[in-house]
């Protein structure tokens, strides 16, 4: 599935974002290893630390659908600047992806940037598997 098709899913999710405090609406679409698409939006809360990023919503949707492997993740910014995942979300993505998994960012004006997860999160925390 190409990045622009995934972007369409992310844009649809972005419309549902609950962001009355920041007005910074983000949409995400994950291509699961099973070929299905899982989308999500950010969900803010009046108690600010309880807010949830769009990446977390999409990951929760994916796991709830019994998929635990991210093939690609697309993040749509609400502005003309790219929106990179926050540090916490980088670790959440790493739970279900590998170092080569593509993370794709789109701005509203159509700028596109593709990076590997390893670029965003070098030396990710892992349990010792030896
Ligand atoms: Zn985040």
Q: Ligand 1: distance of its center to the CA of 85 in Å?
A: 5
What pLDDT does residue 2 have?
96
Work out the percent of the chain whose per-residue pLDDT is above 90: 96
Average pLDDT score over residue span 102-130: 93
Q: How confident is the model at residue 39 (pLDDT cuts 50, 70, 90)?
A: very high
Per the structure, the count of domains in the chain is 1
Q: In DSSP terms, which residues pair with 37 in a beta bridge?
A: 31
* CA 29 to ligand 1 centroid distance, Å: 14
Residues identified as active-site: 55
CATH code, domain carrying 91: 3.40.140.10
Centre of ligand 1 from the C-alpha of residue 117, in Å? 14
Place of tokens 């990045």: 3
Look at residue 130 and tell me if it is in a domain.
no
pLDDT digits (tens, 9 = 90+) for 50-93: 999 999 999 999 999 999 999 999 999 999 999 999 999 999 99
Range of the domain at 77: 3-120
**Cα dihedral 44, 98, 95, 80 in deg (nearest 10):** -10
Q: Is residue 49 part of a domain?
A: yes
């Amino acid at each position: 599935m190409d990045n622009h098709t995934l972007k369409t899913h992310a844009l649809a999710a972005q419309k549902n974002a609950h962001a009355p405090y920041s007005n910074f609406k983000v949409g995400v679409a994950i291509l699961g290893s099973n070929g299905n698409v899982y989308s999500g939006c950010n969900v803010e809360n009046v108690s600010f630390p309880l807010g949830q990023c769009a990446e977390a919503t999409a990951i929760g949707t994916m796991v709830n659908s019994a998929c635990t492997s991210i093939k690609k993740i697309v993040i749509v910014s609400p502005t003309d600047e790219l929106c990179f995942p926050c540090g916490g979300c980088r670790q959440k993505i790493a739970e279900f992806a590998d170092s080569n998994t593509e993370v794709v960012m789109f701005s509203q004006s159509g700028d596109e940037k593709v990076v590997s997860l390893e670029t965003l999160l070098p030396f990710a925390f892992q349990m010792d598997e030896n």
